[in-house]
Chains A and B, each alone.
Chain A
Amino acid sequence: MASKKIHAIYTDDDLLLQAVKQTRAANYHISEVFTPFPVHGLDHAVGIAPTRIAITSFLYGLTGLGVAVLMMNYMMIQDWPQNIGGKPSFTFYQNMPTFIPIMFELTVFFAAHLMVVTFYMRSKIWPFKKAENPDVRTTDDHFLMEVDADNHDVEKLTKFLYDTGASEISLIENEQDH
């Protein structure tokens, strides 16, 4: 089935932000916005739900802490409790100050790396990934808003987008390949 999209290109981030707000207010659906740099407040204007990546990071951090505790408790206290320089290796808590640097580092390590991997997976980016850029200028100095046009009058929508200040408007029809 063919899907119709309209690509509206803007040359200024303030203009884009205004256009996004007007388009949402007029009940058109914005499927994607491409910008060369983060535009402050854009996610809020498009109506994207807040990210939950900080929560995952917290949980990964707890995992790292758990790994550190279990690992060192097993190695230093359970498996082979040696007397190393008179440190009290009888119970975990007695020798805990020596373990804290490692507990801290593993917490940070897990929190940071697993969060980054989560970010890659959720954003679907990896080496050799085919770039999904509709217009190369959006990586330099242009801003592109993609609006669904399937259920709308294309003429009217074009007129509307032109009024929001778009410098170029093009209709994209593509066969969906699935």
Chain B
Amino acid sequence: MYTLPSKLKLFSIILIVLGLVGITYGFLTTPKTVEDVKKIMAEQEAHHGEGHAVESHDEGHDASFVDEARGEEGYAEAAMEQAADTHAEGHSVSHEEHVLHQLQTRPWSATFVAAFFFMMIALGVLVFYAIQYAAQAGWSPVLYRIMEGITTYLLPGSVIVFLIVVFAGTHFYPWQDHDLVAGDKILQGKAGYLNFPFFVIRAVIYLLGWNLYRYFSRKNSLAQAETNNYGPYRKNFKASVLFLIFFIVTEATMSWDWFMSMTPHWYSTLFAWYIFASMFVSAITVIALVTIHLKNLGHIPFVSDKHLHDLAKFMFAFSIFWTYLWFGQFMLIWYANIPEEVTYFIIRIQEYKLLFFGMLILNFVMPILVLMNSDYKRIPWFVVIAAVFILVGHYIDIFLLVMPSTVGHNWGFGIPEIAAFLFFLGLFIFIVGAGLGKVSLRPKNDPFIKESENYHF
């Protein structure tokens, strides 16, 4: 029976407290009025030298919807007309108000990035777990209790994410602003899907579906240890298959709802898969990390370096899969360079260049180099190094999904971001530690447990 080591428990509580303080600080220090923003901008100007700040803001504005240069030369009159239509409201709002809105959004975004990052780990582990059941995998049953322990975080994590997306309002989702929609033909066309009641209903369905599967699969899995037939296992098999079907649909709509609708004029068909890849590789990485942690403490003598090797292979393969989707999305949009699609990448490359390309090194180049050799995949500290690269990289990935769409060029990496990350890290460690500790880590009576314990290749 595992208990979270007392030092780790203390550490997680400290993280939670520090994080809470930081998040509160972030929300309290946002500017309240346009006057505050003017003061901040004047200070910035004084720091950066004359005119610099203003200049960079103008650039941001130009990039925000259409290719102005082409419009002036008469190539894209329809697009310019559309832009004029859609910006009718936007232009009446002053630049300072725009900046004020973005600065007020920053603590929301910072909290959401970290909240979603840790929730998607728990959700990804749940999907991995369902796949192991549905595929009747012979290698992984020794890891079932570990995966169940990690998915303990799903309930609190998904409730927090739910609350954030429901209460964020126009901080995240411009289509919730009725005045804006009234002057925007594109948003009016999407109102059948992007309207607040339906948005909340969908979010409730995701929340229920994911957590119900988590609850019943855990219950069946524990019941299997107590019986001498395979009834609970069969139930879990069916539940897993149904959950995977449910998940693949809700994951797609979830990514449209929560991320793509932050930039409601932009769309990409590959987007849902792309977020899924990020979720899945981070989840497998965390399973590997928790496994190494438990192995070091001597709680799971039945897990061998062969199991670690398999997890590392998954980390390796899904890092490449993520890169494939990232490149598939980027290259198609870059190549065609259609103004209404390309804005998504223009702001990311102009304002977030280092992060945008740096995450490719963290998420692709480093895992490939560290985990290619088959001997290295069995050495725990090598896997830990790769895991740190992958997790940092995918945090940046989520950061880049949210920040450019919500706070634009007024982003930073300061107290709100760090505090939110620490808070959810502490919460994650605390809850997962408690979840792991409830039952024996060896799943008894599973039909594949013997094969799994003797697993080698």
Contacts and interface: CB of A to CB of B under 8 A. Distances in A.
Interface string B315-348: 0000000000001001100110100000000000
A97 B335 contact: yes
A97 B331 contact: yes
B108 to A, nearest CB: 33
Contacts of A54: 374
A98 B372 contact: no
A100 B372 contact: no
A100 B360 CA distance: 14
Nearest to B337: A86
A98 B331 CA distance: 8
A58 interface: yes
Contacts of A97: 327, 330-331, 334-335
Main secondary structure of the interface of A (DSSP, over half): helix
Contact count band on A: under 10
Contacts of B335: 97-98
B372 A58 contact: yes
Interface string B184-208: 0000000000000000000000000
A92 to B, nearest CB: 15
The residue in A54, A97, A100 that gathers the most chain B C-beta atoms within 10 A of its C-beta is A97
A100 B331 CA distance: 9
Contacts of B331: 97-98, 100
Interface string B347-373: 000000000000000000000000010
B105 to A, nearest CB: 31
A100 B335 CA distance: 12
A100 B330 CA distance: 12
Interface in A39-85: 54, 58
A58 B369 CA distance: 11
Contacts, number: 12
Contacts of A100: 327, 331
A58 B334 CA distance: 30
A86 B336 CA distance: 10
Interface in A88-102: 97-98, 100
Interface string A86-125: 1000000000011010000000000000000000000000
A36 to B, nearest CB: 22
Nearest to B324: A104
A97 B327 CA distance: 8
Contacts of A98: 331, 335
Nearest to B332: A97
Contacts of A86: 337
Contacts of B372: 58
B365 to A, nearest CB: 13
A50 to B, nearest CB: 10
Contacts of B337: 86
Nearest to B327: A100
B67 to A, nearest CB: 12
A98 B330 CA distance: 11
A98 B336 CA distance: 11
A35 B374 CA distance: 27
Contacts of B374: 54
A72 to B, nearest CB: 15
A56 to B, nearest CB: 14
A62 to B, nearest CB: 12
A86 B331 CA distance: 15
A86 B67 CA distance: 14
A99 to B, nearest CB: 10
B70 to A, nearest CB: 11
Nearest to A40: B457
Interface in B369-400: 372, 374
A100 B327 CA distance: 9
B374 to A, nearest CB: 8
Nearest to B334: A97
Contacts of B334: 97
A124 to B, nearest CB: 26
Interface in A116-155: none
The residue in B331, B372, B374 that gathers the most chain A C-beta atoms within 10 A of its C-beta is B331
Contacts of B330: 97
A58 B373 CA distance: 10
Nearest to B372: A58
Nearest to B331: A97
A32 to B, nearest CB: 26
A86 B337 CA distance: 10
Interface in B290-338: 327, 330-331, 334-335, 337
B348 to A, nearest CB: 14
Contacts of B327: 97, 100
Nearest to B330: A97
12 contacts: A54-B374, A58-B372, A86-B337, A97-B327, A97-B330, A97-B331, A97-B334, A97-B335, A98-B331, A98-B335, A100-B327, A100-B331
Given A97-B330, A100-B331, 10 more contacts: A54-B374, A58-B372, A86-B337, A97-B327, A97-B331, A97-B334, A97-B335, A98-B331, A98-B335, A100-B327
Sorted nearest first, the 3 A-B pairs with minimum C-beta distance are A97-B331, A97-B334, A97-B335
